[in-house]
Amino acid sequence: MTPALEIRGLKKTYKNGFEALKGIDLEVAPGSFFALLGPNGAGKSTTIGIITSLINKTAGTVKVFGHDLDTDLQAVKRSIGLVPQEFNFNNFEPIGEIVVNQAGYYGIPRREAWERCEHYLNELGLWEKRKDMARTLSGGMKRRLMIARALVHEPRLLILDEPTAGVDIELRRSMWDFLTRINTDGRSIILTTHYLEEAETLCRNIAIIDDGGIIENTTMKQLLAKLETETMVLDLSEPPPGIPEDAPVVLRQVDELTLEADIRSGQHLNDLFRVLDQAGIRVQSMRNKSNRLEELFIRMTRNGQSPSHLTPGASGASEQPENQA
C-alpha cells in the first residue's frame, strides 16, 4: 500500500546557517495514528512546515499518498489538513466564515462548504458559535476551530502540531475521542505533542526526532518494550511489617505508608504481588511513578537532558518555532 507519508533524505538549512534537518527518512503507513516526538528545536515543526509547503526544503523528497511535493504539489496539498501549533486565523472574522473560506480555497462551492462547516463545527461543539468573532473564543475552542478548518476539505492525512496545548483535561479527552474516531474511519493522523501520555494513549506508531535526525521509528508497543525498569508507587493501608531485602522485586520505603517497587524487563506484576503477599504488606492502591513513554523519551533524547516541561501533566507551554533559529 502507498504510504500516507514518505520522506527520504530531507534536509533543511535556514539562511542563518542553522541546520534544522540533517537528512531524515520517515514513513507513515496509511490509516496510522503516528506520533512525531522530540524536544524543542529538534526539527518537528520544520518537518511539518516542509510537508505542508510552508517551509522550503533544502534537499530530499516528500511524498504524500504517492504524490511528490516537487512535481504534484496541488495533489499533496489536497491530501493534507494542518492544525498548526500557533493560532493562525483571522481573529476578526466569524468562525463559520473561517471554516467556509478554507473550503473555498480548496474549490468547494459555498453551499457545500456551509454543509461541511455545520457538520464539523457540530462535531466539535462550535456550531452555536459560528457567528462569533474568533477572538472571543477560549483557547480550547480556538484549537477545535483549527481542527474543523483542517478537516473541511476532508483530507486523507491530518497533521496536528501540539493540538491540545493549553487545553484542560476534560476537553483534551473529548478531543482524543474525536481524533480516535476519525482515525478509525480511515484518516491517517500525524501528531506532535508535549503530552507524552497523549502520544502513548492515541498513537500506534512513533518516531522520535532529535537534533535534526530521526533517532527512533517504530511501533509504540516495541518502543515501550525497550523500557528496562518500570517503577510502581504503592500506597499502603498500614505501615509495612518489614521490607524484604532479597526479593526478586526491589522494594524501597519512601515514607511510612508509601513504597516504590522496581519491575525489571521480563518480570510481571504477579512477581510483585507474590513478594508483597509473602511480606504481609497490605496495598491500598498502585500507580506508575511516571509515564513510561516519558521515561524512554528522556533517556533517548539529548543524552537524557530532556527539558523539564516534557511531562504528562505539562502546562502546555507551546514550543518555540524552530524557524527562529
Partner 1 sequence: MSSTHLHHYWTAFRTIVTKEVLRFARIWVQTVLPPVITTALYFIIFGGLIGERIGEMEGYRYMDFIVPGLIMLAVITNSYSNVVSSFFGSKFQRHIEELLVSPIPNSVIILGFIFGGVARGLSVGVAVLLVSLFFSPLSIHNPLVMLVIVLMTSILFALAGLINGVFARTFDDIAIVPTFVLTPLTYLGGVFYSISLLPEFWQGVSMLNPILYMVDAFRYGSLGHSDFPIAMSFAIIAGFIAVLYGTALVLLNRGVGIRS
Residues 6 or more apart whose Cβ sits within 8 Å of residue 324: none
**Which amino acid belongs to residue 223?**
L
User: Nearest Cα to 49, choosing from 175, 128, 159?
Assistant: 159
**Count of CB atoms situated within 10 Å of the CB of 255:** 8
Q: Does 175 bind partner 1 (CB under 8 A)?
A: no
Q: Is 78 in the site for partner 1 (CB under 8 A)?
A: yes
Q: Tell me: does residue 14 bind partner 1 (CB under 8 A).
A: yes
Does the footprint of partner 1 cover residue 273 (CB under 8 A)?
A: no
We find the least distance from the C-beta atom of residue 55 to partner 1, in angstroms, to be 5
Comparing CB distances to partner 1, the nearer of 147 and 261 is 147
Q: Is 317 in the site for partner 1 (CB under 8 A)?
A: no
Least Cβ distance, residue 7 to partner 1 (angstroms): 18
Quick one: 77 or 292, whose CB is closer to partner 1? 77
User: What sign results for the dihedral spanned by CA atoms 225, 172, 117, 52?
Assistant: negative
Site residue total, partner 1 (CB under 8 A): 37
Residues paired with residue 259 on neighbouring β-strands, in sequence order: 234, 253
CB of 90 to partner 1, least distance (A): 5
Asked whether 108 and 153 are in contact (CB, 8 A), the reply is yes
41: nearest Cα among 213, 167, 283, 159: 213
The set of cell numbers assigned to 109 is: 462551492
101 binds partner 1 (CB under 8 A): yes
The contact mask relative to partner 1 for 34-73 (x = CB under 8 A, - = no) is ---------------x--xxxxx----------------x
Question: In the set 40, 267, 318, 323, which binds partner 1 (CB under 8 A)?
Answer: 323
